[in-house]
Amino acid sequence: MAFSVPKDIQNHPVRNVDRARQREMWWSVVVGSLFAGALLLVAWEHSQWRELGYALDRLQQERLASEAENRHLRLELATLREPKRIEGLALRYMQLVAPTQTESVVLEIVREAATPSRSLVARR
């Protein structure tokens, strides 16, 4: 007695595509992608705020340094413009002498008033 094996055995299972499960999977991928994108956006925005904070701090430090230098330069300018200092330098290095009352002349600048426009001139 011999056993015979039939040759028509189908070893290829057929998979039926479950459309509802596939649609649910794609919705999960879309929602996950949107969530990951939102997280990346928040992380990028946070890093931008941090960089702006550092830049603002650096600019404030530069402004304070510039203001201190400006105060120093204004003080130096006021010192250099001081009339007593200029007079001392003129007397010491240029051998200039102070003028007497008879040698000094006071000049006055007389400025003429601008003529008013015709609309402002009063007529009788």
* Distance separating alpha carbons of residues 60 and 66, to the nearest angstrom: 10
The overall pTM is greater than 0.75: no
Residue ranges per domain, the chain? Answer: 21-98
The per-residue pLDDT for 115 is: 73
Confidence of residue 3 (pLDDT cuts 50, 70, 90): low
Q: What is the mean pLDDT of residues 77-81?
A: 95
For residues 97 and 91, the answer to whether their CB atoms sit within 8 Å is yes
Confidence of residue 7 (pLDDT cuts 50, 70, 90): low
* Distance separating alpha carbons of residues 45 and 39, to the nearest angstrom: 10
The per-residue pLDDT for 39 is: 98
Helix runs in the chain, H state only? 19-81, 83-93
pLDDT, tens only, 16-55 = 888 899 999 999 999 999 999 999 999 999 999 999 999 9
